[in-house]
Amino acid sequence: MSGNNGHLLYESRDGVAVITINRPDKRNALSRAMCTALRDAWLRFRDSDTDRAAVLTAAGDLAFTAGADLRDLPDNLPDALPEVGVALNKPVVAAVAGHVVGAGVTLVTFCDLCVAADNARFLYPEARVGATVGGIAALAARVPHKIAMELMLLGEPISAQRAHEVGFVNRLVPAGTQVETAVALARTMAGHAPLVLGALKQLVRDTLPLSPMERYHRARQVIDPVLSSDDMREGVAAFGEKRPPVFRGR
């Protein structure tokens, strides 16, 4: 089964969801619509009875993503991040090639594993651009501190080989084979006990320190449904009409 939401592709392959950013003419840049589509894909994957692992990749071998689309800045970027926008008890493998820039590095940070083509280059240029939402701070909990600071503060590229050496990349493969390798890893995990995978992911989630952006977004996930609820509208209306409110828990 497959699906196409704008420039995002979702394909189910024998228990593995392959999610593909498909804007090669824009170097797979992340627009607001793309981030919405990614969140929808994570929800679909979370709720699937058949897809037990996912691969996140992009069209072509020249750019996993150029990062945020500067002509359509995605203020909803956190929604697109696995574990931030949608908590997942299933494993996610990133399969990247070419340029992995800005928000693309953040996406990989929140995946469980990463397969990188040997032509991949990881670059976080936000200090040079003058904008950030801070999600990249989570990298410091996942690789050595000095490596995270080098990537964030210098804004210079790190090769796939270097990323592999410091533990940011699990498998280093020839360009063009990254998706095949990632699907093989995902298929292995899809055959494992899902309750164990989910438990381990939850325990790791509770072990890793949260960045300020993650804490803020988790709080918003609790607060926003209250602020948009029928009960809130009823409470405000009842106050204005000087009557007891009738709350329904929705």
pLDDT, tens digit only, all 250 positions of the chain: 345 556 999 999 999 999 999 999 999 999 999 999 999 999 999 999 999 999 999 999 999 999 999 899 899 999 999 999 999 999 999 999 999 999 999 999 999 999 999 999 999 999 988 888 889 999 999 999 999 999 999 999 999 999 999 999 999 999 999 999 999 999 999 999 999 999 999 999 999 999 998 999 889 888 999 999 999 999 999 999 999 999 999 9
Residues 6+ positions from 218 with CB-CB distance below 8 Å:
210
The CATH number for 2-209, chosen from 3.30.420.10, 3.30.1490.100, 2.30.110.10, 3.90.226.10, is 3.90.226.10
Write down the pTM of the prediction.
0.90
Phi-psi label, residue 28: left if phi above 0, alpha if psi -120 to 50, beta otherwise: left
Length, in residues, of the chain = 250
Do 107 and 65 touch, CB atoms closer than 8 A? Answer: yes
Q: Is 225 helix (H, G, I), strand (E, B) or coil?
A: helix
Q: Which pLDDT belongs to residue 142?
A: 96
Neighbours of 5 (CB within 10 A): 17
The C-alpha atoms of residue 151 and residue 169 are separated, in whole angstroms, by: 14
Q: Order of strands, edge to edge, in the sheet holding 16-21?
A: 2-5, 8-13, 16-21, 53-58, 92-96, 113-117, 171-173
For residue 68, give the 3-state DSSP assignment: strand
Are 52 and 12 within 8 A, CB to CB?
no
- 136: its two tokens: 């990249």
Q: Which residues contact 194 (CB under 8 A, 6 or more apart)?
A: 52, 89, 90
Residues in CB range of 242: below 8 A, 6 or more apart: none
